[in-house]
Structure 1
């Protein structure tokens, strides 16, 4: 895995997810970031997460990593190095209070271990992505399933928007948005990532 310097996340990039939380569907990408200490690898062990700040929700996402710095006109094959699956963990009660006050989401989104990642795999191109769904199992039962074909803003649009407004460099990653089905995590839950029928990684949530 390349060194990760910047973590960008896309909010409300699946229409049904925006609607399930009662949010407006955006007309341009909603971008926020997480600090790098939020990263944690889904490698079969326990991952500590906050358990005393209200409900903690999983948001499963396809994650892409940049092969090079953003350059207008470059193809996705040139710019994307690999794909992974991840969770953008969210303290939902904290986020709701922040939204009411019009404050940034960092307290709800940027805590330690809030950005879970599997290992990265070679980028198969957009056609390859469309051929497989990604999914999350909680204790062996599917709780989320998505396909990159259902996003509001596609990968090329996201890369262009983020690259032009914030900058993108080699190794930077983008959490591309979560489909519907987000929900709470409890202490001891085992969370498993599937790419098609392949197990790409899992971990046990340890709430403290």
Structure 2
């Protein structure tokens, strides 16, 4: 097969304890999936889950122990951090039941859903899609994937984010409004999940702005740290 130009290389994420890498297919994100963050964003009550997507090449892949550069994006003056548990799908499927969801999970990682909040707020006012606020270049930092067997009971894990050593976000994965299995059930009813899909499962309260020079350190129990420095545009 001959292409009109060379295809871009496959986006992939390292796997802890393995020389193999996880090739990325799609990135799904769950919106407002912690009670405290939903309230923070003006929502009360358990609404039906809803999703948005990011392109695979929006990932900023950070190796274990490294500090990566996170370029400050264009068109915004209000770039927000959102620390998230990322679920890596290893076995695809359609209409997966929550009780069977664990069979489809390859592993877990620490991720950040970076958001151009000013643009998102403007899109909301106009009733327009959020793509420009969520799916921009470098909007999805991620650390290495830890295999399910090595992650322990992820539902009991702590999730946290520090900016310049000061804690901004902290919660427990158990406080997800729609838990991991339920999320997979809902997602797979709308899309046929594929091996290589990543699910950003939502962020707790405490989201806020970052500026060039800030050091971000995200962590989830048993998954290690995700560390980045925000760089000037």
Q: Decide whether the 8 Å contact of 1:34 with 1:110 is kept in 2.
A: yes
Specify which of 220, 223, 226 is matched with residue 195 of structure 1.
220
> 1:33 aligned to 2:56?
no
Q: 1:126 to 1:147 in 2, by over 3 A?
A: farther
Offset at residue 57 of structure 1 (A): 0.3
Q: 1:24 to 1:104 in 2, by over 3 A?
A: farther
Q: Decide whether the 8 Å contact of 1:12 with 1:18 is kept in 2.
A: yes
Distance across 2 between alignment mates of 1:134 and 1:140: 15
In structure 2, stretches of 5+ residues that fail to align are 1-20
Offset at residue 132 of structure 1 (A): 2.1
Q: 1:33 to 1:197 in 2, by over 3 A?
A: closer
Count of aligned residue pairs for this structure pair: 208
> 1:62 aligned to 2:82?
no
Q: Decide whether the 8 Å contact of 1:12 with 1:26 is kept in 2.
A: no
Q: Decide whether the 8 Å contact of 2:217 with 2:228 is kept in 1.
A: yes
Specify which of 162, 166, 171 is matched with residue 146 of structure 1.
171
Q: Decide whether the 8 Å contact of 2:156 with 2:173 is kept in 1.
A: no
What is residue 76 of structure 2 aligned with on the other side? Answer: 53
What is residue 206 of structure 1 aligned with on the other side? Answer: 231
Runs of 4+ in 1 over 6 A off after TM superposition: none
TM-score, normalised to structure 1, is 0.92
Distance across 2 between alignment mates of 1:200 and 1:188: 19
* SS across alignment from 1:84: strand
* SS across alignment from 2:38: helix
Cα deviation digits, residues 61-113 of structure 1 (max 9, x gap): 00000010025347333110010011111111100000011000000001000
Offset at residue 198 of structure 1 (A): 6.7
Aligned CA-pair RMSD = 2.0
* SS across alignment from 2:227: strand
Q: Decide whether the 8 Å contact of 1:77 with 1:125 is kept in 2.
A: no
Offset at residue 27 of structure 1 (A): 2.1
What is residue 33 of structure 2 aligned with on the other side? Answer: 13
> 1:132 aligned to 2:152?
no
Offset at residue 193 of structure 1 (A): 1.8
Distance across 2 between alignment mates of 1:30 and 1:171: 21
Q: Decide whether the 8 Å contact of 1:133 with 1:195 is kept in 2.
A: yes
> 1:171 aligned to 2:207?
no
Cα deviation digits, residues 146-189 of structure 1 (max 9, x gap): 21110111111110111110121101000000000000011011
Higher mean Cα deviation, 17-26 or 70-79? 70-79
Specify which of 184, 193, 204 is matched with residue 209 of structure 2.
184
> 1:89 aligned to 2:103?
no
TM-score, normalised to structure 2, is 0.83
